[in-house]
Structure 1
Amino acid sequence: MRGRAAGAACAGDAMKLRDRIHMLGSGLLGMNASHELDCNVYLLDGGEAQAIVDCGTGYGVPALLAELERTGFSPAGVRTVLLTHAHQDHAGGASRLRAATGAAVVASPLTAAIVEAGDEEANGLAEARIAGVYPPDCRLDSCPVLPIEPGECLRIGDLSLETIATPGHSADMLSYYCPELKALFCGDTVFAGGHIAALRSPDFSMAALERSIRLLAEYDVDVLLPGHLHPVLRGGGIALTQALAAFGLPGGPPSIV
């Protein structure tokens, strides 16, 4: 049974969060709508073209495609798959979604290099699989990825997305800001309530994360679309200011992991 966010409207059997923004899937750190190990997976509707933001682990791709069609969209209408970073719960489904939709996969240069190589050491999967976080058959399938630099702008139909480098949770993190909708797809940079995801990994940096959140706080954010937990559908910038305030406290912002 799929969970529903309080107050959210639904299109068909899929989650419509706001006009032109849908949620296709999520894991246990969300609504568990596609596969328990998935991140939040979003659909951005640009009219004549759509984009999917993040892909989940790969296990949930059939559920993501089913949700896509229940929104009334066609896989062929998805022209772009955007990755926020290369961790398995966000990038593991990239190859399968690309094959199903024909979409171009886009990410930061570092994410692109990791996913194109199927580098399971660099994306943390090899270690996480040994630790039992992911099952033995979990794999990062390589696929072509178009690298995009921070500051570049993407067109998704009649909408635009600005790419913003937001390292901290991982060194390769990108966020995507849609000015027309005042919507920020922030990956694992910040979450509702000003939470963060502090990892015990070599490329996690609390100092870099604070700088990234400070940068995002300069944007006019109404809709905050994080990689886990629930989206913030109004006043999304509050989560950014909450996180910044918590950096000045002992221990910093609360972590979801």
Structure 2
Amino acid sequence: MQITKEVWQVGGDSLTAPEDAAIYLICFGEQAALIDAGTGKGHEKLISNIEKCGVNASQIEYLFITHCHYDHTGGAEKVREEFSCKIVVHELDAIYLEKGDSDVTAARWYGKVLEPLKVDHKITSFEESFLVGSRRIKSFHTPGHSPGSVVYLVESEDKKILFGQDVHGPLDPSILSNQEDYIKSLKFLLSLKIDILCEGHYGIFEGERNVQSFI
């Protein structure tokens, strides 16, 4: 599903596997990146969808993870093996991925055991910037749904596009959600004045008014 000429949705419940959160692809010039990896159950479909976008495996430099939950990270190792890309996760969520915590990552919700996942780059600050081809992608720490939840912001076709997976939770103590942090993060997201929101489970929202209403 094309969002702009440089941004696509390539995974999700109707595109790869029913359990998958949305997976997005960005391509700026000679380099590309994925946002989240789904559960891995629909990996072959994911590869096919990426190829249909005209992006080569060698172009994918990063897998940016929004948070540690299994429906976003279960397929991360398969993605890294397939594309030889770097996995990027906030340090507060990387802890649970690297030790294979099936409770905090919600893998048990899916009847799975999470295999430990090595993280290549740990985000350590509120805001970081990554060069993908000709463009910068910014990460912002937005805790609440999980301790290390982040959103990623890019510009494409003069539009501000936010990859804000699981903007509406859920909040659950078993996955270390924090309501106070969550409310602060939502207020920050509203301040960004986004043109397009690419969400994890509820679709894509276009137009600043629609984005603000959803948040």
Question: So what's the TM-score if we normalise by structure 1?
Answer: 0.77
> For the Cα contact (< 8 Å) 1:95–1:141, is it kept in 2?
no
Shift of 1:119: 2.0
Give me the whole-angstrom Cα distance separating, in 1, the residues matched to 2:20 and 2:129.
27
More strand by share: 2
Q: Which residue does the alignment assign to 1:21?
A: 7
> For the Cα contact (< 8 Å) 1:57–1:89, is it kept in 2?
yes
Question: So what's the TM-score if we normalise by structure 2?
Answer: 0.91
Q: Which residue does the alignment assign to 1:143?
A: 117
Shift of 1:237: 5.5
* Structure 2 SS opposite 1:187: coil
Unmatched tracts of structure 1, length 5 or more: 1-14, 129-133, 190-195, 244-257
Please tell me the residue identity of whatever aligns with 2:149.
M
> For the Cα contact (< 8 Å) 1:95–1:142, is it kept in 2?
no
* Structure 2 SS opposite 1:90: helix
Q: Which residue does the alignment assign to 1:47?
A: 29
Q: Which residue does the alignment assign to 2:77?
A: 95
Change (3 A) 1:49 1:139: farther
% identical equivalent positions: 26
Q: Which has the larger radius of gyration?
A: 1
> For the Cα contact (< 8 Å) 1:45–1:51, is it kept in 2?
yes
Instruction: Tell me the alpha carbon deviations over residues 70-124 of structure 1, each in whole angstroms, 9 at most, x when there is no partner.
Output: 1111112110000000000001111110000000000100222222222213312
Q: How does 1:145-224 map to 2 (within 5 A)?
A: 145=119, 146-149=121-124, 150-180=126-156, 181-189=159-167, 196-202=168-174, 203-224=176-197
State which of 46, 52, 56 in structure 2 corresponds to 1:64: 46
Shift of 1:242: 5.0
Q: How does 1:246-257 map to 2 (within 5 A)?
A: none
Number of aligned pairs?
A: 210
- Of residues 214-223 and 141-150 in structure 1, the stretch that sits farther from structure 2 once superposed is 141-150
